[in-house]
Amino acid sequence: MVANKTAERPLTAKPVVSERASSGTGNLALDARDVHVFYGDFEAVKGISLPVHEKEITALIGPSGCGKSTLLRCFNRMNDVVSGVRIEGQILYKGQDIYASQVDPVAVRRRIGMVFQKANPFPKSIYKNVAWGAKINGFKGDMDALVEKSLRQAALWDEVKDKLHQSGLSLSGGQQQRLCIARTLAIEPDVILMDEPASALDPIATSKIEELMLELKENYTIVVVTHNMQQAARVSDRTALLWLGELVEYNDTQTIFTNPSQQKTEDYITGRHG
């Protein structure tokens, strides 16, 4: 349980980003700098700065509507396809501003893949689902090997190796989600953005996705949105709490869950809010 340190906590809404969270020792894969996102006149993300460290899992938590998905979509320019959206600030990927005029958003999404809340396989075979992105990107290597490797990395190979030509839609929900992860891995990204990847899954399928995330972080940087506090605590290295479009607190996950510096954080993770 979290110790009650209300008295010594500031009441300001200023984000508390610990020095370790903002500087850390590792390299940054992504770095959001004073990012604002507007849908028309509505400001959904209000000046968030968030460094994302390489080969770590960063969790975004916070109540519904606080801007988690909006912020996540900034990291690979998925908001570009939403009409009426305006983004201010900078998102650096390995030091390069992904919103700079000469940057191709398709190239950005090749390096920074995304997995959505609801598994969304194409109405095509399991094989074609995985091969799709690589094919579009002009992959010229051994496609069978790439499909197998991606399905193995997504911990799905053993369950589907004898039915690769069946429809992806014939799989269970948890398998479909792993298929979508395999599809993302097949484009060989650096970073994987996951928006509530397990929220529609039962506890066993959820734990498979969590185990998978822990394996993947050996080679990939992951940013995950989750409503599941236990999940954030179990899998992530760092956690950011968002609230009404603002960053309340960002720190290493253990500190966020055992010794947060903001009352809001404590209230949220102990279930008194949200």
Ligand X SMILES: Nc1ncnc2c1ncn2[C@@H]1O[C@H](COP(=O)(O)OP(=O)(O)OP(=O)(O)O)[C@@H](O)[C@H]1O
Sites of contact with Mg ion (CB under 5 A): 69
Q: Which residue is nearest to Mg ion (CB)?
A: 69
Selection from Mg ion, ligand X, none that 95 binds (CB < 5 to 8 A by kind) is: none
- Asked if 70 contacts 85 with a C-beta cutoff of 8 angstroms, the reply is no
Cα 74 to its chain centre, rounded Å, is: 11
Min CB(197)–ligand X separation in Å:
13
Min CB(57)–Mg ion separation in Å:
18
Radius of gyration, CA atoms only, the chain: 19
Selection from Mg ion, ligand X, none that 139 binds (CB < 5 to 8 A by kind) is: none
Selection from Mg ion, ligand X, none that 44 binds (CB < 5 to 8 A by kind) is: ligand X
Selection from ligand X, Mg ion, none that 66 binds (CB < 5 to 8 A by kind) is: ligand X
Q: Would you say 76 or 153 has its CB closer to ligand X?
A: 76
Selection from ligand X, Mg ion, none that 39 binds (CB < 5 to 8 A by kind) is: ligand X
Q: What are 262's two structure tokens?
A: 């903001």
Q: Would you say 71 or 146 has its CB closer to ligand X?
A: 71
Q: Would you say 12 or 42 has its CB closer to ligand X?
A: 42
Min CB(224)–Mg ion separation in Å:
12
- Asked if 197 contacts 209 with a C-beta cutoff of 8 angstroms, the reply is yes
Q: Would you say 26 or 65 has its CB closer to ligand X?
A: 65
How many CB atoms neighbour CB 257 within 10 A?
A: 20
Residues making contact with ligand X (CB under 6 A): 39, 42, 44, 62, 64-70, 82
Q: Would you say 24 or 105 has its CB closer to ligand X?
A: 105
Selection from Mg ion, ligand X, none that 82 binds (CB < 5 to 8 A by kind) is: ligand X
Instruction: Determine the length of the chain.
Output: 274
Q: Would you say 68 or 208 has its CB closer to ligand X?
A: 68
